[in-house]
Structure 1
């Protein structure tokens, strides 16, 4: 799975990169919102981890621009932010983020979100079959 990490803090980027690589993910990294937008449009990642407070374009602005690109309209975007108020969550979701995670990142919870958002729909329809 190809993950775009958009993060301007080098320590956070290194931690996320190291841990996600250990889990076998392919990564591309952007250090500002404009770079995130450009990389997303070029690489079409499977999921995007978007820091909300970044230079050039904020994560909110980058997300809004990414959502205008048809191949990325359904790509999961997880907002990463130190701002944990309900209004911050709503602002991120309204901008087009799929999910919201607060910093410091709970890596186990983040992996759960990534798995949930990228899991293929089940093709096993046995649960919906009726017994006649």
Structure 2
């Protein structure tokens, strides 16, 4: 299966994502902030990054821009995981270079469908 990096600072959300992805057979890497996530992405080159938008320090959209601007990581698919669902938020997420997004609270069937679709697409 795929190697997936989850960048999430909320422990219950991280636990849920790791559980769901693990049940699907994926290898899951974990980072609690953007800086650690960028380091892991460069070292381990995951197939997919699930990026929380609101992170301590550097936010997830800034981290995505950095990853997409780096030749070593630009082709890694990034899905934003966000509580934002306002008009214009989707455009901000896409403008940062994200390949998709999942709304919080996470609904497991939708979450897994977005993961599957992004890995295939």
Same fold (TM over 0.5): yes
> CA separation in 1, counterparts of 2:73 and 2:111?
21
For structure 2, the residue ranges without an aligned partner over 5 or more in a row are none
Question: Which residue number in structure 2 is paired with residue 130 of structure 1?
Answer: none
| Cα shift at 1:52 | 0.2
- Cα deviation per residue 1:36-55 (whole Å; 9 max; x = unaligned)? 11111111000000000001
Question: Which residue number in structure 1 is paired with residue 61 of structure 2?
Answer: 60
Give me the TM-score of the superposition, normalised by structure 2.
Answer: 0.94
> CA separation in 2, counterparts of 1:79 and 1:111?
14
> CA separation in 1, counterparts of 2:86 and 2:75?
25
Question: Which residue number in structure 1 is paired with residue 95 of structure 2?
Answer: 94
Asked if residue 10 in structure 1 is aligned to residue 16 in structure 2, the reply is: no
Asked if residue 106 in structure 1 is aligned to residue 107 in structure 2, the reply is: yes
Structure number with higher relative contact order (C-alpha < 8 Å, ≥ 6 residues apart): 2
Q: SS of the residue aligned with 1:112?
A: helix
Asked if residue 44 in structure 1 is aligned to residue 45 in structure 2, the reply is: yes
> CA separation in 2, counterparts of 1:71 and 1:85?
32
CA RMSD of aligned residues (A): 1.2
Q: SS of the residue aligned with 1:78?
A: strand
Structure of higher CA gyration radius: 1
Runs of 4 or more, structure 1, over 6 Å off, are none
Question: Which residue number in structure 1 is paired with residue 73 of structure 2?
Answer: 72
Give me the TM-score of the superposition, normalised by structure 1.
Answer: 0.86
* Number of aligned residues: 120
For structure 1, the residue ranges without an aligned partner over 5 or more in a row are 121-132
